[in-house]
């Protein structure tokens, strides 16, 4: 088992990662009767995508003796209403200005990011836009 989840009431959950004991709380968004005081379940899906992209890129970059430390990632979620679901996710990666890579290395890393495990697990109807700002 990966995680244990307890519904706390009031549209909030505590999610415990069993290996580390780390806890993530979720809350329903304000547009769906929640307080919006924590990540919503759909927020966590978007964050999972963004962190998977940069993490898998960093794994490959390490093999290439490239350090991606300082890279920032912005993720934006767009909801649809019928049925209620995520319709689009925009992910923008911004790399440190000091990171000077040859084009071939950028292409390799972008392909890795585009094909991270979370991206490959999403439904094909979900529009995903990934922007790499080198």
Whole-prediction pTM: 0.95
Same domain, 107 and 61: yes
Number of domains in the chain: 2
Extract the runs of DSSP E, i.e. beta strands, from the chain. 3-9, 12-17, 23-27, 72-81, 84-94, 127-133
Same domain, 45 and 109: yes
Same domain, 99 and 66: yes
Q: What is the pLDDT of residue 61?
A: 98
Q: What is the pLDDT of residue 88?
A: 98
* CA separation for the pair 117, 53 (Å, rounded): 8
Note the pLDDT tens digit of each residue in 29-83.
998 999 999 999 999 999 999 999 999 999 999 999 999 999 999 999 999 999 9
Q: Any long-range contacts for 29-36 (C-beta under 8 Å, 24+ apart)? A: 31/79, 32/84, 35/10, 35/11
């Amino acid at each position: 088992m990966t995680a244990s989840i307890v519904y706390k009431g009031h549209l909030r959950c505590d999610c415990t990662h069993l290996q580390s004991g780390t806890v993530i709380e979720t809350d329903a968004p304000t547009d769906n009767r929640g307080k919006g005081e924590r990540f919503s379940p759909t927020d966590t899906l978007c964050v999972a995508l963004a962190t998977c992209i940069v993490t898998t890129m960093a794994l490959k970059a390490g093999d290439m003796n490239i350090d991606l430390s300082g890279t920032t990632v912005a993720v934006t979620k767009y909801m649809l209403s019928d049925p209620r679901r995520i319709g689009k996710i925009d992910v923008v990666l911004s790399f440190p200005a000091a990171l000077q890579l040859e084009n071939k290395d950028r292409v390799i890393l972008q392909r890795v990011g585009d094909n991270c495990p979370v991206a490959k697990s999403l439904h094909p109807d979900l529009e995903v836009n990934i922007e790499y700002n080198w």
